[in-house]
Amino acid sequence: MSLNSESFNDYYSHLKDYTQIVKNGNDISLSICIDTVKHQYLCDHVFGGMCFIPATMIMELLMEAALWYTREILKKDDFFPVGLDDINIERALTVAKGEAIQAVINFQKVVDTNGEIAVYFIINSERKSATGEKVGTRINTTAKVILAKEYPATPSVDYSDAFTERYNIPQDVFYREYFPSLGFLFNSCIGKIAFDREQRIFCGVYNCNSKEKEFIKNDTSAFLSSPLGNDSCLQYAVFFSRILALKGRLPIGGRELRMFKKHPVNGEVKVFIKCIHLDDDIMIFDFYSFDETSLIALGKEFKVKKSPYHKELSRQEFELIMNLYKEE
């Protein structure tokens, strides 16, 4: 059975049309084909010649799967995803440009208590030999999706604007010099940044500019979360980790993500980042995004890990371009 009915198409931007429902006794899983032609955002997210499925799109896939399970299996139509816990991306999902990859979303456990539903997941993908022959499966991601009937109450957050350095880097320069692997659809960070190296705090501005409507070919449906909005926060976290330690890194998960309202499809959003741990391999940080009116999302103990795909630069090389746009 595939997710291609009209009702499915109203809710599942990524899963619809390319997903099969697999039943094995009482166990249910979703087998999804991730295709670089249909899911065209992949061609703008390339590292080492391969298309990487962004961490934030994996999170979106899990939220869509959790919503599907809650509506279709539990028959509860008034719940929707408000966050994720214990997101662990053990291995990246990658695919060559022009090709597709098959992945399986396994429902491990569902807990329904105190007005919240928690759905536990494992994502598996095929493991292939050097000749392309399937030789088994491997775990890519584990996580838990939280669903509720309303958004959680907005918490108070500790925000400081006592930044010691401010820059206004033109967007085209920002991506050409610091994120050459990201194409047009992921060029969302504006380059307005401020930070304090001693306090290890950072603030940046981004704008999704309705680009998510172009992520899926011939489809302008809205996502449950904002893969591009959340990715913009992680882009800035990666950039901040290079400011602090020059190491290029990629996201590998986080302890908690909570959403407090729908992310705007257009318009400027700020993200505040607080580094809480930094070593040669990993940076751990909290972040929250907010618009002119209120908090949008909060991430706790997210991680970016040293990546082989970023060019190593000296301090002088890295800051040469930045310093052209420093505000006095």
Spatial neighbors of 65 by CB under 8 A, at least 6 apart, are 15, 30, 105, 107, 119, 121, 145
Q: Does residue 309 lie in a domain region?
A: yes
pLDDT digits (tens, 9 = 90+) for 90-128: 999 999 999 999 999 999 999 998 889 999 999 998 776
Looking at residue 131, what is its pLDDT? Answer: 62
Active site residues: 45, 231
State how far the alpha carbon of 199 is from the alpha carbons of 65, 160, 196, 275, 326, in Å.
39, 10, 6, 8, 19
Phi-psi region of 115 (alpha: psi -120 to 50; beta: other; left: phi over 0): left
Same domain, 80 and 203: no
Cα–Cα–Cα angle for 149, 150, 153, rounded to 5 degrees: 140
Percentage with pLDDT > 70 across the chain: 95
Is 185 among the domain residues? yes
Q: Is residue 181 part of a domain?
A: yes
* Residue that is last in its domain, among 95, 122, 148: 148
Question: What's this model's pTM, rounded to 2 decimal places?
Answer: 0.94
Q: Would you state the pLDDT for residue 132?
A: 63
**pLDDT tens-digit profile, the chain (328 residues):** 444 444 445 678 888 777 888 888 888 999 999 999 999 999 999 999 999 999 999 999 999 999 999 998 999 999 999 999 999 999 999 999 999 999 999 999 999 988 899 999 999 987 766 666 677 788 999 999 999 999 999 998 878 788 999 999 999 999 999 999 999 999 999 999 999 999 999 999 999 999 999 999 988 878 999 999 999 999 999 999 999 999 989 999 999 999 999 999 999 999 999 999 999 999 999 999 999 999 999 999 999 999 888 778 899 999 999 999 999 8
pLDDT, tens digit, for every residue of 183-200?
A: 999 999 999 999 999 999
Of 118, 148, 178, the last residue of a domain is 148
Number of domains within the chain: 2
What percentage of residues in the chain have a pLDDT greater than 90? 77
What domain range includes position 91?
19-148
- Flag whether 213 is in a domain: yes
CATH code at 96? 3.10.129.10
Q: Is 95 in the same domain as 227?
A: no
Cα-Cα-Cα-Cα torsion 188, 191, 192, 195, nearest 10 degrees, comes to: 110
CATH of the domain at 307: 3.10.129.110
Asked whether residue 294 falls in the same domain as residue 170, the answer is yes
Which residues 6+ apart lie within 8 Å of 321 measured at CB? 169, 173, 177, 178
Cα 219 from Cα 276, distance rounded (Å): 39
Residue 8 lies in a domain: no
The residues that bridge with 256 in the sheet, in sequence order, are 85, 300
Q: Are 223 and 117 members of one domain? A: no
Domain identity same for 75 and 197: no
Kindly report the three-state secondary structure assignment for every residue of the chain: CECCCHHHHCCCCCCCCCEEEEEECCEEEEEEEEECCCCHHHHHEEECCEEECCHHHHHHHHHHHHHHHHHHCCCCCCCEEEEEEEEEECCCCEECCCCEEEEEEEEEEEEEECCEEEEEEEEEEEEECCCCCEEEEEEEEEEEEEEECCCCCCCCCCCCCCCCEEEECCHHHHHHHHCCCECHHHCCEEEEEEEECCCCEEEEEEECCCHHHHCECCECCCCCCCHHHHHHHHHHHHHHHHHHHCCCEEEEEEEEEEECCCCCCCCEEEEEEEEEEECCCEEEEEEEEECCCCEEEEEEEEEEEECCCCCCCCHHHHHHHHHCCEEC
pLDDT at 129: 60
Residue 238 sits in the same domain as residue 316: yes
CA distance 248 to 23: 41
- Token pair in block for residue 70: 């809650």
Q: Does residue 11 sit within a domain?
A: no
Examine the domain organization and report whether 137 and 23 are in the same domain: yes
